[in-house]
Structure 1
């Protein structure tokens, strides 16, 4: 495995076995993994007593690169290591000068740079210097298709199982904000009755506030089956509960589904496994809806639907629309999808 391909799990595995690097440069659009790694280092490398003298946490907006380098050059007091964590490292000016320190980094220092909502230019000398002596990790946003697998894996580590419908409800409702998603998962774990290790759609409804019968997941299923009555019941519910069912969330989910459906027509193998593999889905059962939808919608109709979703999105933002409310726009879109 090359250093560019290193994963969050690889880094945590090293840290748990007490293999430490002089620098961890954690960057990218997904804050969750950056926080996970930096929090692990902050909480576990030093004992509580050692932290008093050997843990420094600074913010990029408050320090310059010289201050960071000076902190990194200090020797630990009554400890094998010192930890220096720089949050919001993207705010530090002249960060390229860090490469001078990395020519000969202090092995007793663990320097953690947290660079969120962006990345370091890998073509620059600094990136090469980091990779030579430490870890350069890019935390990428998960795609929507990867969410069910993330949820299942996260809960399995906690000894909890989820029914597939419960997993899909959560993925559709929360989306790709992993910090918020894990917060909702922890809330679910706390509310599980003693001795119960399986989460049902009813528990999602009770504890997260998503209706098990009237949500985006069920709307998608109704559209797949071309069940006009059920689809209209759901959009009526959405109309009465606009705060928990915003139009943009529904449009995003529908656009993702019909875009994938369009791709599924090009899958060389139309079995569950073949479609799942072609679309990058983690589980073959996720491909079942696409198989069903391919029987209900032609490729031409699917292309028209994608165009209508884009048009509705534009109108919801005020482009070419002077009077229709979000619920009226959704009702119009659902009619066009089904007819």
Structure 2
């Protein structure tokens, strides 16, 4: 059975919390992807109506409290309300100072939590599952545990399509979703902001197309980087150099812009490397798509076409070129920004 993606886990957790049915007394949200954790925290906060929050809602930061104080609040009963909510951010920091007590104090609470309190623990990490606390959190049916890893770059277009449909009740052309993912990168908060912008300004009856993304979200430079990427993956050196000259002439191409473009190409070639790696293992096209968890056939076919232009054996050379360009842009070299950029394209295309 394939491992659930962070996107699927978020949907599962959101349905559980949003519906406020079968709510668990303890939630443990962790992992690299803060966007999902923040959204679920906002939903859990809604368990207590605004006019009841003064006495029944606590947001605590681990570095500013200790286990005894948190547990004292969690064990207390709500005041003139159905439930209280206690949220602890940076949970593991509660136990960093010996004088503040031990996180093991939570073991007894987890075994017998206050039924009128929802305790939400949030961190980037999970306690060591070999410890008493880790075992109790991991195995207790009173705890809902969700780990949100960073969404892989190759799944971003799928996330954009889902988010547009479920949050904004709109449809986005898969090609437009891919362009937005490549332009904005893996920051889900930024992507959600850009989508909100696009959905606000595009007529509700219209499907969101590439031209809308170009007009509302992207600058001239951003969109031409997409065109440059197409020339690079098609290994058309003359076209790539022509587009790059336009970009360099149109903008004051600073070191910061070069580094941003390098980050963009790093994402592109990470996606290509993933497909090449799995193909080299002997997986079929359908198996690769399933392994990567890309639901949109359009998006996967576009990435498959790009990867078909390269061999796995070329990837070390390409990543070395990107690393060299990054070091040069940051001052470890004598080339100017234009030369760094043009040399990179020649090295990638070969």
> If the TM-score is normalised by the length of the shorter chain, which range does it land in?
0.7 to 0.9
8 Å CA contact retained: 1:247, 1:330: no
What's the CA shift for 1:292?
A: 4.0
Distance 1:136 1:261, change over 3 A: closer
Match status 1:268 vs 2:282: yes
| 1:105 equivalenced with 2:113 (yes/no) | yes
1:143 aligns with 2:143: no
Q: Which runs of 5+ in 2 are unaligned?
A: 96-101
Q: Distance in 2 between matches of 1:203 and 1:42?
A: 35
Query: What is the alpha-carbon distance in structure 2 between the residues aligned to residue 78 and residue 295 of structure 1?
Result: 64
1:53 paired residue number: 55
Q: Deviations over 1:134-181 (max 9, x none)?
A: 122212111001101100000011211112232112111222221222
User: For residues 61 and 292 of structure 1, do their structure 2 counterparts lie closer, same or farther at Cα, with a shift above 3 Å needed?
Assistant: closer
Contact residue 29 and residue 141 of structure 1 kept, 8 A: yes
1:172 aligns with 2:182: yes
Give the distance between the partners of 1:296 and 1:156, measured in 2 at CA: 32
Name the SS of the counterpart of 2:76 in structure 1: coil
Conserved? CA contact 2:160–2:177, under 8 Å: yes
Q: Does 1:9 align with 2:11?
A: yes
Q: What is the count of residue pairs matched by the alignment?
A: 331
CA shift digits 1:98-151 (9 cap, x unpaired): 223223211111111121x33332222212222412122212111001101100
Q: Is the 8 A contact 1:161 1:199 kept in 2?
A: yes
Query: Residue 284 of structure 1 aligns with which residue?
Result: 297
CA distance in 1, matches of 2:312, 2:137: 48
Match of 1:32 in 2: 35
1:261 is displaced (CA, Å) by 5.0
TM-score (norm 2): 0.83
Relative to structure 1, is the Cα distance of residues 334 and 91 closer, same or farther in structure 2, using a 3 angstrom cutoff?
A: same
Whether the aligned pair in 1 keeps the contact of 2:107 and 2:133 (CA below 8 Å) is yes
1:83 aligns with one of 82, 85, 99: 85
Aligned to 2:99: none
Summarize the Cα distance change of 1:283–1:96 in structure 2 as closer, same or farther, 3 Å threshold: same
Query: Which of 325, 331, 336 in structure 1 is aligned with 2:336?
Result: 325
Judge conservation of contact 1:14–1:20 (CA < 8 Å) in 2. Answer: yes
Choose from 264, 267, 270 the match for 1:253: 267
Give ranges in structure 1 of 5+ residues lacking alignment: none
Q: Which moved more, 1:134-143 or 1:122-131?
A: 122-131
Q: Compared with structure 1, are the counterparts of its residues 281 and 216 closer, same or farther at alpha carbon in structure 2 (3 Å cutoff)?
A: farther
**1:296-335 alignment to 2 at 5 Å?**
296-318=309-331, 321-335=332-346
TM-score by length of structure 1 reads 0.85
Take 1:192 and 1:293, find their aligned partners in 2: how far apart are those partners? 30
